[in-house]
Amino acid sequence: MGSIKSLSSRSHSRPKRFLICILLVSLPFSVFIVSEKHKRMMNKTTEVDPKPRPTTWFDVIAKGLNKKKKVKVGVVNIDAREELLSSHEAEMESVVVDFDHVDGSLKWEEIFPAWIDEDGKWSEAKCPNIPMPKFENFEDLNVVVAKVPCGVRDVFRLQVNLVVANLAVRSGWLNKMEKHHRNVYVVFVGSCGPMEEIFSCDNLLTHEPEFRVYKPDLWSLKQKTLMPVGSCQIASGYAKTGTP
């Protein structure tokens, strides 16, 4: 009887051992399969939904420029080493436009006086000086990038706008005797935009939190650069009847 019981217990224990062996062998394999599936799912997620690269001002204007050569960028009132320029350093050539800043003591009212002695009865009209760069050194720009200060009736803000407008006109005009011109873009970086009296909203291509891109109508912009800077220039020396 004892031998029969021992044989019976052995016969019952063999299947259990076999199942335990199968489980031990298959467990690492199962873990491997699960980990591989997880890797594949992660790769698919990365491929399908990559993190988009932020749009830059250069992306906006790239289609309208000749990509066979470097884009020449005039930099006004901004550090050329800033990230917004260095991100496309291989595709552009930046030139810093130097000019003397307008006198800090100059008031807006001196450029746009409330009352003008047109006949010069009391004194000869004198318009304040607003320094400009040597424009002949910057007549082949494709883009003008500038930063303007915030505020209303800010003389330095006016100066920067005038510098940018003249640079765009001089770089865009291929023949000064005709109306033909090439594309020149203007970019204002930072939170503050340009003076709408000079750069119209009709010429605004893109407005992002960090920049505004304009493709100005150079014919219209040229007329603005030829106009007197302020109302002080309407005085007798400029407005006599018959004066060309």
* Rounded mean pLDDT, 167-190: 80
pLDDT of 235: 44
For residue 146, which of 135, 130, 132, 162 has the smallest C-alpha distance? Answer: 162
Tokens of 106: 């100059």
3-state secondary structure 58-114: HHHHHHHCCCCCCEEEEEECCCCCCHHHHCCHHHEEEEECCCCCCCCCCCHHHHCCC
Looking at the predicted structure, is the pLDDT value of residue 52 above 80?
no
Residue 142 CA, chain-centre distance (Å), reads 14
What's the rounded Cα separation, in Å, for the pair 172 and 176?
A: 10
pLDDT of 238: 41
The yes or no reply on domain 57-239 and CATH 1.10.1220 is no
Buried-state track 125-163, b at ≥16 Cβ within 10 A, e below 16: bebeebeebeeeebeebbbbbbbbeeeeeebbbbbbbbb
Q: pLDDT by residue (tens digit) across 95-107?
A: 999 999 999 999 9
Looking at the predicted structure, is the pLDDT value of residue 215 above 50?
yes
What's the rounded Cα separation, in Å, for the pair 34 and 19?
A: 22
What's the rounded Cα separation, in Å, for the pair 86 and 92?
A: 9
Looking at the predicted structure, is the pLDDT value of residue 240 above 50?
no
pLDDT of 242: 38
- Above pLDDT 90, what percent of the chain? 39
* Rounded mean pLDDT, 62-86: 77
pLDDT of 20: 62
pLDDT of 158: 96
pLDDT of 198: 95
Under a CB-based contact definition with an 8 Å cutoff, are residues 131 and 64 in contact?
no
pLDDT of 227: 84
Looking at the predicted structure, is the pLDDT value of residue 191 above 70?
yes
Q: pLDDT by residue (tens digit) across 92-149?
A: 888 999 999 999 999 999 998 877 766 666 666 678 899 999 999 998 899 999 999 9
* 244: confidence class by pLDDT, cuts 50, 70, 90: very low
Looking at the predicted structure, is the pLDDT value of residue 168 above 70?
yes
Phi, psi of 173 (to 5 degrees): -85, 110
Longest dimension (CA), the chain: 143
